[in-house]
Structure 1
């Protein structure tokens, strides 16, 4: 995992803040990033890291902000062609709440 993401997670937990961690769990076909890519999202929409950019990342950030509000993880799958990305692959994304419940 990206050192900057880990440092921020520690800071979030120490300072009673909150965020969401996006993990690209599975990929198939052509994708800009592969399984294991991570991205941290803060309540204001600021991010650290990337899961590949484009419409898929935009959608994941929106869902991450919902996870922060509800404090409940989600798992979803997207076809990158459906998201307007020319790479044509598929991705499974897990988003988890980081912070105190």
Structure 2
């Protein structure tokens, strides 16, 4: 977005306290890593539909135990929207692509 190469950004993050699994092992940005679903049009990996199901189970458990999980609820909503818009068969990391497309559609 600011003209920074995604590979360079990942390298910077991975040398700092920002390092995490999604930046150094399973990067969701196409072209940053080889051998991950983002490099294969989000094919393979853990499906969005399964993520939505698991988030639903977590949400039900949270509701039953009266445990507030606002970010979990938001994530569940996003993954359900993804499934409704044709992302069911893609890897869960396609949320990067989904949010980017959603943002572009808002600007149009």
Kindly name which structure, 1 or 2, has the bigger radius of gyration based on alpha carbons: 2
Query: TM-score when scaled to structure 2?
Result: 0.27
Which structure has more relative contact order (CA 8 Å, sep 6+)? It is 1
Query: TM-score when scaled to structure 1?
Result: 0.29
Query: Which structure shows the bigger proportion of residues in helix conformation?
Result: 2
